[in-house]
Amino acid sequence: MKEVPASLRGYYLGIDDGGSDTDTLIIESWGYHIKDAKENDWLGRGVISDSLVIKFYENYCFVNFRSGDQWVLRVIRQKTSGDIQFLSINVSDDKKRKETLRKLSKKLSIKEIQRKDDTFYQIAPTKDQLIQLLKDGFFTGGDLSKVK
């Protein structure tokens, strides 16, 4: 997509486990940026380009961005309320990582890549496999409330 759909544009507020406001995700026609709780706009920015690609399919917005020489996928699903779910396959938790990778490896080939202190897990699902991974609950994450 060359532009973020109007239905997704707006300000979205994150809420931490304690119920406090956290960062604000601002989605504009050209991409996104993130402000912290003190309104500082330094946390992150992405502009639609050859290193930030956005696609839509079956009520899901797929956001692919480059991190070094790797592509990272995040998925956004908009609720009827206007709020969004920000989803990914979480492999940061040591306990959950092994179980998630074990279950995932039954469906797809996984390539582990080491880069300095980071470990990346690459998969290459087809469109149908990706949708099935979403339906099977591999993608998890938090809700962001639309505030304007």
Mean pLDDT of 11-35: 83
Alpha helices per DSSP H over the chain: 94-105, 127-135
The rounded mean pLDDT for the chain is 86
Exposure string over 93-127, b if 16+ CB within 10 A, otherwise e: eeeeeeebeeebeeebeeeeeeeeeeebbebebee
Q: What DSSP state is assigned to residue 143?
A: E
Over range 17-35, report the average pLDDT. 82
Q: What is the pLDDT of residue 42?
A: 65
Average pLDDT in the 92-114 region?
Answer: 88
Contact 54, 28 (CB under 8 A): no
Q: Whole-structure pTM over 0.85, yes or no?
A: no
Q: Note the pLDDT tens digit of each residue in 76-87.
A: 999 999 999 989
pLDDT band, very low/low/confident/very high, at 134 (cuts 50, 70, 90): very high
